[in-house]
Structure 1
């Protein structure tokens, strides 16, 4: 079965999606306090993360690593309204750039961002390592119902 990465259109499509999403986050009054003025490398990091998560190249793990992702979220104190807005803008960006809109792909996309945003929110409130979410590697997302 074709990976979510390939179905989305590969690296170029995911990069375009993340670029639009990140611009919307930086312009959003609810999320901007978490991201500040942004960081130039953030689009590349998130592109690599999403690509790997969807079954593409393992560049994120090889270059950035999951520990860096955990560290980036610690102390942010992400609120539930911020998490929900993040999910909303993520899915809106998928529409904006024309990622596939078939129900199985969109369900995978939604479950991916819902899960990831919950992990980030938990890690953002962790005051000790024991309070961190137990996930320590990039999760590989599959089609709904696929194991």
Structure 2
């Protein structure tokens, strides 16, 4: 590759913020119609979709919109405590999100999808683990996870 060509982040490759906001808006409209997921999400705030879009975008190399004005990784983890999510919830959430990504024509090349699915699997599994707890000892300054081309955010440390 020529030295003057910059490799795009996963965020840029996916279509930047409009792609993530569109993805989460359409996805959560499906969640609210899903018999398994609707009970879990029916009381979410009107800003929930946008916060999730900003969180995922930041993880994939986008702007720090989430961590600078909407929350932190610690606060995102706290939102899952005591929700008692099951493996069935997790699988359905991932399935609907990937279905929505396909419908919207998000990149489907193996490299992007590998990173995208890898993060969804990692993040949703942590959400299920954390949802069993009512409190969690976690460093409030824990940095946001970062995902890139063949790079992951690091090991989960409860």
Same-fold status (TM-score > 0.5): yes
Q: Distance in 1 between matches of 2:14 and 2:38?
A: 27
1:14 to 15, 20, 33: 20
Number of equivalent positions? 146
Would you tell me which structure has more helix in proportion to its own residues?
Answer: 1
Residue 129 (1) aligns with residue 136 (2): yes
Query: SS of 2:36's equivalent?
Result: coil
Name 1:41's counterpart in structure 2: 47
CA distance in 1: counterparts of 2:87 and 2:20, whole angstroms: 26
Q: Is the 8 A contact 1:26 1:37 kept in 2?
A: no
RMSD: 2.2
**4+ residue segments displaced more than 4 Å:** none
Q: Report 1:1-147 matches (<5 A).
A: 1-63=7-69, 64-130=71-137, 136-144=142-150
What are structure 1's unaligned runs of at least 5 residues?
none
| 1:85 positional shift | 0.5
Q: For 1:129, what is the secondary structure of its paired residue?
A: coil
- What whole-Å deviation, never above 9, does each CA across 1:82-132 have from its counterpart, x for those lacking one? 1110110111111011101111111111011100101111111124424x6
